[in-house]
Amino acid sequence: MLDATPKKIVDRTALRVNPCKTCQPVGAMYCALGVHQCMPHSHGSQGCCSYHRTVLSRHFKEPAIATTSSFTEGACVFGGGSNLKKAVKNIFETYDPYIIAVHTTCLSETIGDDLKSYIDEIDIPAGKLVIHTNTPSYIGSHITGFGNMMCGFINYLSKKSNTVSDKIGIFPGFVNPGDMRELKRLATSMEAKYIMFPDTSDVMDAPNKGTYQMYPKGGTTVAEIKELGSVRKVLGLGTIVSKPAAEKLKVKCGVDFDLVPYPIGIRATDTYLMKLSHLYKTEIPAAIADERGRVLDGMIDAQQYFAGKKVAVYGDPDTVLGIAAFCLELGMIPYYMITGTPSDAFEKEGAALFEGYDVKPGVIKANADLFYMQQLIKNDPVELLIGNTHGKLIAKAEDIPIVRAGFPVMDRYFGAEQPIVGYRGAMRLAEMILNALLDRKDRDADDTDLELVL
């Protein structure tokens, strides 16, 4: 497996091998699926749409609907305006969404399609909406695209108001529906009044009731996105992914924001809850405090097995930062922190995580790939991988256990429905990590050393 990866690291300036990112539009599509009765629309060749739907279906094990402008040679020469016009008409007639969220592709960006003026010229049925965002695939990554789609919705819909509502906006970031559900549960327990945007719970983890709903009950409503313009504050989770949309809303509607890390692990969850506590002058409920106590209790019980374990964490920037922070709390060393998304903040924030800990990181690198990570591991090994399915190949090649978290996870089930955020998520993640380590310990133990009690 992956026999072609040499140990010696040679600088590459052009070749990307085994990427740790994908392109903007899939992030935009996922974001748009988190809006109620929304049809994501891919303005480009039909392959883009098909690939994005495939990867979303493979990760969430759910239907992922989206439409395409289905570009031909003609569209490339004359522009994609007539394709979009036809598409919008067809979509409203056949699939009857409330809103269509258009995102561009590398192709429509390069030929210079002006989406704003196209949409202005389209005869949109009364009561229906079409919005757009620009997602050039050659800038940033799917994380950038997710943020850009949020900006697109805000741009078109959010309204500034003279009266500030009692609500806050919570931007959950590019996380699973299970995470969003847990974030909402915690916010509700703090008596917060909030709008979560986007919200893919009950869309990309819709319960099976023997019927197919093209637009399941979940998703942020258009009314809520409008109302975002008058909330008292936005709590942006994921300092990197949620930043552009938070800034956009601030500029457009003057809404203040706080950016905090994904609430993965103890301290980051504490931060999330304290922010809510501060905003709503509520105490942390005893039941939630008990959840914290329980996961902490388990972490203490098992601390000897976590202690000093070197880990490679890879994937999307905020997810890696969050998991790495939790690894440190567990006594492990997030030795390699790798993301494919270009981001200076990632490297800075990654290094800052180690303050106050008596351990040092190996390599923290953005705009990197998994080929490079495998080479790092060959030179200075780790004992565990935490990240998406693509790391499985490295896990096999280097014989290292792997815990699946992040996006995409295409080879395991029940993941997207469950959280890794909050105290419950921490307990789940800690259990997954510990099981991987202990299964490995048992597997490697000689018969004489195999212990029944650990």
Partner 1 sequence: MDSGVLQERADSIIIKRSGDHGCRQMDCEKASVAGSVSQRACVYCGARVVLNPITDAYHIIHGPIGCASYTWDIRGSLTSDSDLFRQSYSTDLREKDIIFGGAEKLKRAIDEIAITKQAKLIFVYATCIVGVIGDDIEAVCREAEEKHGIRVIPVKAPGFSGTKSQGYKLACDAIMNLIGNSPYKDIKKQGVNILGDFNLAGEIWLIKKYLKKIGIPVVSTITGDSSYASLMKAPSAALNVVQCAGSSVYLAKQMEETFGIPYFRVSFFGVEDTSQSIMHVAEAIGSEATIQQARVFTESEREKSLLFLKRYLPHFEGKKAAIYVGGGFKAISLIRQFREMGIDTVVVGTQTGKKEDYEVIENLVKPNTVILDDTNPAELEMFMRKMHADILVGGVKERPLAYKLGIAFCDHNHERKHALGGYEGVVNFTREVNLSLNSPVWNCLAGR
Footprint on residues 193-212 left by partner 1 (CB under 8 A): 206, 208-212
Nearer to partner 1, 335 or 407 (CB): 407
- How many other CB atoms are found less than 10 A from the CB of residue 370? 25
Report the side by side order of strands in the sheet with 233-237: 194-196, 168-171, 233-237, 257-260
Cβ within 8 Å of residue 114, ≥6 positions away: none
DSSP reduced 3-state for 403: strand
Segment lying near partner 1 (by CB under 8 A), choices 99-107, 175-183, 243-251, 422-430: 99-107
Output the smallest distance, CB 300 to partner 1, in A.
39
CB 198, CB 31: distance < 8 Å? yes
Output the smallest distance, CB 59 to partner 1, in A.
11
DSSP reduced 3-state for 61: coil
Structure tokens at 54: 């495939």
Nearer to partner 1, 377 or 430 (CB): 377
CB 187, CB 282: distance < 8 Å? no
Quote the CA–CA distance of 143 and 332 in Å, as a whole number.
27
Segment lying near partner 1 (by CB under 8 A), choices 71-79, 154-162, 252-260, 433-441: 71-79
Omega prior to 342 cis, within 30 of 0 = no
Output the smallest distance, CB 28 to partner 1, in A.
12
The only residue of 91, 124, 345, 432 in contact with partner 1, by rule CB under 8 A: 91
Output the smallest distance, CB 430 to partner 1, in A.
30
Quote the CA–CA distance of 376 and 370 in Å, as a whole number.
10
Contact letters (x/-) for partner 1, 108-147, by CB under 8 A?
--xx------------------------xxxx-x------
Quote the CA–CA distance of 14 and 251 in Å, as a whole number.
37
**Which residue has 């501060």 as its token pair?**
278
Segment lying near partner 1 (by CB under 8 A), choices 5-13, 190-198, 313-321, 378-386: 5-13
The only residue of 7, 10, 127, 414 in contact with partner 1, by rule CB under 8 A: 10
Output the smallest distance, CB 84 to partner 1, in A.
8
Residues 304-363 that bind partner 1 (CB under 8 A): 340
CB 115, CB 88: distance < 8 Å? no
With CB under 8 A as the rule, give the number of residues binding partner 1: 82
Omega prior to 198 cis, within 30 of 0 = yes
Cβ within 8 Å of residue 138, ≥6 positions away: 106, 109
The only residue of 7, 15, 358, 413 in contact with partner 1, by rule CB under 8 A: 15
The residues that bridge with 80 in the sheet, in sequence order, are none
CB 105, CB 135: distance < 8 Å? yes
Output the smallest distance, CB 94 to partner 1, in A.
5
Output the smallest distance, CB 137 to partner 1, in A.
4
The only residue of 7, 73, 300, 453 in contact with partner 1, by rule CB under 8 A: 73
The only residue of 9, 95, 344, 454 in contact with partner 1, by rule CB under 8 A: 95
Residues 27-66 that bind partner 1 (CB under 8 A): 41, 44-55, 57-58, 61-66
Nearer to partner 1, 21 or 428 (CB): 21
Quote the CA–CA distance of 27 and 149 in Å, as a whole number.
8
Nearer to partner 1, 86 or 278 (CB): 86
Nearer to partner 1, 95 or 357 (CB): 95
Q: Note the Cα 293 to chain centre separation in Å.
A: 27
Nearer to partner 1, 100 or 228 (CB): 100
Residues 369-398 that bind partner 1 (CB under 8 A): 371, 390, 393
Nearer to partner 1, 10 or 453 (CB): 10
Quote the CA–CA distance of 440 and 20 in Å, as a whole number.
26
Segment lying near partner 1 (by CB under 8 A), choices 16-24, 169-177, 296-304, 355-363: 16-24
Q: ∠ CA(394), CA(313), CA(324), 5° rounding? A: 165
Output the smallest distance, CB 366 to partner 1, in A.
14
